[in-house]
Amino acid sequence: MNRVPAVTYLLIIVAIGYAGAWELIYWDAGHYARWKDSDLPVTYRANESGTPDCGGEFTALEASLDTWTNVTTSYFDFNYGPKTSKKDTKLDGVNLFYWAETQADLPYAGNYIAVNTFWTSGEDMGDWYATVETDICFNGYHYDWSDSGESGKMDVQNIATHETGHALALADLYDVGSKEFTMCGYSSYGETKKRTLEYDDIRGISSAELYGYTGITLEDFEAAAGLDNIEVTWVVSSETGLAGYNLYRALDGEAEYAKLNAALISGESPYYYLDEEFEPGMTYKYLLEAVDIAGGTETFGPDIATAPTGDGRPVLSLAQNSPNPVTNDTSIRFSIPEAGRVSLGVYDLTGRKVITLYDGDANAGEHELEWDLRGDRGVRVAPGVYLYRLMAGGENVVRKMVVR
């Protein structure tokens, strides 16, 4: 069954107050409406008559859809379909753009610039209902239209971008903090600023409630103790829409984490963080949080490391190889607490040994080895993820590296 349609209006600009951010259109106290992911892409079609006021209205309509589709932190996808003879607001399986040129053609009384009517299936998805159709009517009875921001006329792309924002479940914003946003609920003659999205418009479509994703591909995340610090490293192969990272730490066995960084960690992969404030000899676990520009988060980990003893004595530790990812040679540092036999080897993800880098006696303290990415047979290894394992004193430590 289909619920009673919701209606949104765009009004002529008369006053502005203060707000900012973004808001959802709610059907009732507990539900907003959005498209099911399985229904993407959402296709809109334009009535073949368009508007008699300009010649580029169809191009402008398609551009309005592309504006939302091209948000890199969102997976939502609009499609511009073939023109249609349909020209009214009703539930008929077609998401429609059309102009009402007579008062009788307007779906609702009033001098609004445009109106978006949408329907849901009535299926309760928890916090939302599934949108099944929306129809957008442009008021050609009260207003003239332009495809170039012409003075004294409404700009097609400007208004269509706003109205398709409603189709995404983004609500009108009426306060002064929102006046530059695409979703500002007022407009004016010749205005074109709604053609492009502002930061909070992007945050809206990219939110966890709607169609956002972090877009982080983490290759590796590890924590390892050195002589006087714990080094946390992570390797990322893609960072679509990333704002930065937060790093959290907790004592092993405890549930409460504390954030280590004051500001978001940004830069280029591989990332390194040196934790130098800890209780000697204690074991800690670390979580990595990726934050996208819409405020969405994704968490990785935990990884565990035991802090140095603080008395200057070496500990068994294996550092992240550098550089990582590696394309030519790479350096591997390790330390052992006492003299004895040491073995350091590289393995593929199936556990097959690729090469033994060292197998013999070593003094207590820090050591460093180089690897030229060749296996036991002298042939360069294929790109991928590899493990390297340090064995000493009956213990072993394993870390990962990425070869490109």
pLDDT at 2: 37
Per-residue pLDDT of the chain in tens (404 residues, 90 and over written 9): 334 454 444 433 322 222 346 788 887 767 888 999 889 999 999 999 999 999 999 999 999 999 999 987 788 999 999 999 999 999 999 999 999 999 999 999 989 999 999 888 877 788 888 999 999 999 999 999 999 999 999 999 999 999 999 999 998 988 777 888 999 988 999 999 999 998 889 888 887 788 876 567 787 888 877 667 888 888 887 777 778 999 999 988 788 899 999 999 998 888 889 898 888 778 889 999 988 776 777 888 888 887 876 655 566 778 778 888 888 899 998 888 888 999 999 998 888 899 999 999 999 888 899 999 999 889 999 998 898 989 998 888 888 888 88
DSSP 213-273: ---EEEEEEEEEE-SS-EEEEEEEEEETTEEEEEEEEEETT----EE--SS-B-SSSSEEE
Distance CA 3, CA 120 (A): 6
pLDDT at 312: 56
Distance CA 179, CA 115 (A): 19
Token pair recorded at residue 333: 């540092």
pLDDT at 283: 83
Task: Region of 184 please: left (phi>0), alpha (psi -120 to 50) or beta.
Answer: beta
* Domains of the chain with bracketed CATH: 6-205 (3.40.390.10), 223-311 (2.60.40.10), 314-404 (2.60.40.4070)
DSSP 320-376: PPBSSSBSS-EEEEEEESSSEEEEEEEE-TTS-EEEEEEEEEE-SEEEEEEE-SB-T
Distance CA 284, CA 133 (A): 51
Sign of dihedral through CA atoms 373, 378, 384, 388? negative
pLDDT at 400: 84
